[in-house]
A and B are shown apart, each in its own frame.
Chain A
């Protein structure tokens, strides 16, 4: 069954800005799908439509096989959860525990179940030690993880995230993406994330949708998407840095590279194939200038 099935939706804001123009968007159960696009491409509008914050002018949106218009708020938000870009928009309670228990309590669950869900959600984002802390005492990275836990405590079937790595340092970015990968691969959660950060996507996303001016330019696995250089430029995006390096080496220096490596691992494997074995020295611990 399709976790998310969007057919021909359009949306125009009151000021006349056409944000989405008849797009189709499908996500299968257990998939990790990225919506890639520059600022103003329609990513945020799309995810706001998916969770019912905006109403489409035309088209159909179904979550878990049912149209969102036919679902009550209670049903809808147990099927789909949204993690906002800015955790301050989402974390409104005074403490981590109170914030995480907000959703389960709204579902009128017994207190033991509320506490179980809070513990489970905080553990899954490695934030259990933060349980009793005040929200305004948390670092930005901690706030991001706690806002994710607050949504996980609703146990949605589809998790949607708006720019989940925005504002995080490299370590925080890697940690957040690893958390999402674990939720997807180990717990089977369907993940949809909107981003314009391309470097980590090939490692995590099963499929990528590229949006530009409210239209889907291309969709498919990362290796397919990043082969279309013109489309990438048109969408005001770029290749992952490692791919760009390999592409330039192939194009300008004639280095015989097959295809386009998208990750450091792939690039390393390709380079090792090209370097004669006797030139490879034993491993070094650190790089000196």
Chain B
């Protein structure tokens, strides 16, 4: 399951989205994120969410994978909506009695929760789509192109690379524990899990040391050298212009064009 969560095999497919320059995709994603986060109604975020999921479906990404990647944010959204509904606002919608406590849902809170939830879902679907259409190393390249701190990009590159190495190690260790009945009883499972977590931290320190040695032997002096990025092509510039215009138009339409 963890491997599915981080798998990037779909980013290596050849399709209209994967062929677009990563800088264009990153800029469009950032513009879309700004639009949904600053929207004052849930319509735009929900429309973006539906658009992103529709695109993901059109790219034939397995629904199970999409559900897996959205499972955690969906649960966050659910909690968010419930808390907002019962904590914020004044106009009662309905009341619930639980163990002698009466909880009153409020219309303003529900609307606020819905808006926040829609923003979260929408933002995550944008990131999901970006992650499905762009290999991580190309996103890092794009970040470098935008002069994001080299240190941050370097750390992100190393984190991304070693997620897979450490996941392999954790999977092996966990299997070795399971084969020796490490997870059969709750107490033992807890002990096994904490030992696994400790071992993973130690492995990651050791791995970092060896990797640093290997980097030094190839001339590393504290900064990773990055290759040059080609100039944006006319096609990519056109796509960027169309997408940014589309986002601005959608924002204008949903924010000011329709009265809700």
Contacts and interface: CB of A to CB of B under 8 A. Distances in A.
Chains A and B come from one and the same complex: yes
Contacts of B226: 105
A135 B157 CA distance: 12
A73 interface: yes
Interface string A227-263: 0000000000000000000000000000000000000
Contacts of B8: 134
A94 B9 CA distance: 13
Contacts of B165: 88, 136
A129 B134 CA distance: 21
A93 B157 contact: yes
Task: Classify the secondary structure of A's interface with B.
Answer: helix
Contact of B217 (A82, A88, A93): A82
Contacts of B225: 101-102, 105-106, 108
Interface stretch (B16-24, B205-213, B250-258): B205-213
A42 interface: no
Contacts, number: 85
Interface in B204-234: 207, 210-211, 213-221, 224-228
Contacts of A151: 217-218
B228 A134 contact: no
A77 B207 CA distance: 21
A94 B137 contact: yes
Nearest to B167: A136
A89 B12 contact: no
A150 B218 contact: yes
A106 B216 CA distance: 10
12 contacts: A84-B214, A92-B157, A92-B214, A94-B140, A94-B157, A98-B137, A101-B225, A102-B218, A108-B225, A134-B8, A137-B9, A154-B219
Contact of B219 (A74, A86, A92): A74
A137 B165 CA distance: 11
A101 B227 CA distance: 8
A211 interface: no
B217 A53 contact: yes
Given A105-B227, A106-B225, A134-B135, A90 B214 contact: yes
B218 A136 contact: no
6 tightest CB-CB pairs across the interface, nearest first?
A: A94-B137, A106-B219, A105-B225, A103-B218, A89-B210, A136-B164
Interface residues of A, number: 34
A94 B160 contact: yes
A91 B158 CA distance: 10
A219 interface: no
Nearest to B154: A92
Given A105-B226, A154-B218, 16 more contacts: A73-B221, A81-B218, A82-B214, A84-B210, A84-B214, A86-B210, A88-B207, A90-B211, A92-B158, A94-B161, A98-B227, A102-B218, A103-B219, A111-B228, A134-B8, A151-B218
A174 interface: no
Interface string B167-194: 0000000000000000000000000000
Given A53-B217, A134-B8, A92 B227 contact: no
A137 B137 CA distance: 13
Contacts of B207: 88-89
A210 interface: no
Nearest to A94: B137
A105 to B, nearest CB: 3
A77 B135 contact: no
B128 interface: no
A77 B136 CA distance: 30
